[in-house]
Every structure is written in C-alpha cells, then in structure tokens.
Structure 1
Amino acid sequence: MSIERAIMAFAGFMVLLSTILTVWINDNFIWLTIFVGANLLQSAYTGFCPAAIIMRKLGLKSEAQLATANQK
C-alpha cells in the first residue's frame, strides 16, 4: 500500500470513528471530524501532512517510489 492510499484510508477511518463517537459518546467529538477535514484541506494546498511523515518513517513508500521499483 502506498502512502497516498494509506492517508485516504486513515482519514476515512478517522472521520467514521469521530462521527460514531459524536453520535454515541459525546457531541464534542465533532471537533475531531473538523480537525481531520481541515488537515486534509491544508495538506492538499501545502503538501504537508503529519500522518504521511509518520507513515514514511514506518516504511511505507509513495506511488512514485513503488512505480520506480516495479520498473526495475
């Protein structure tokens, strides 16, 4: 799995989790949903994503790196 796909999966999971927590636990979990959405928006414009940095350190590779590795 590439970093790009892992980011989409992680963001989707966090939105679903925070929505469930908002409905069943406490209304203040809506702030987690807002934070995830704001982070996705800013990363689309700036290219900076803290989750991508962590995933890179965990050994995930980008789509470009995977494509280059498959060509060899």
Structure 2
Amino acid sequence: YCVEDCNYLLDYYRLSGDQRLIFGGGVVYGARDPANIEAIIRPKMLKAFPQLKDVKIDYAWTGNFLLTLSRLPQVGR
C-alpha cells in the first residue's frame, strides 16, 4: 500500500518488498527535472520522518506521475 498527502505537489511513500522506505514527492509539474533530486526530496522526507536524518539515501531518480483531473482516485472497471 502507498500513503500520499494532499499537497499540490504530492509526497508519497511505501515500504518495498525488502522493508526499505520508498519515498517520492512532486518537485515540479511540467518543468525540467532538477539536477540534484536527493537535495530536494531529503527535506520532504525528513519532515515526515525526522528520525531518518542520519540515514543514507541509496537511490534517487525522477519520472512522470499521473493523476486524475480532479486529483481524486477513481475506482471501477
């Protein structure tokens, strides 16, 4: 399962299969990817999980994120 907040630029997280935290967050919508994504994501992660201040981030990447026009989940077939 995944948890996300209600900010305009979403932050979201979940545990991986090996019980590691996967944390993501909206940085920019429709602009260039930042050069140092870790420097932008770390403060967001620490706001949610301050106890991780000394934990090394092993991987950081950028990518597309899709959501509905209403920004609400849609469930159905």
* Shared fold, TM over 0.5: no
Bigger helix fraction? 1
TM-score normalised according to structure 2 size: 0.28
Give the number of the structure whose alpha-carbon radius of gyration is greater: 1
TM (norm. structure 1) is: 0.29
Larger strand share, 1 or 2: 2
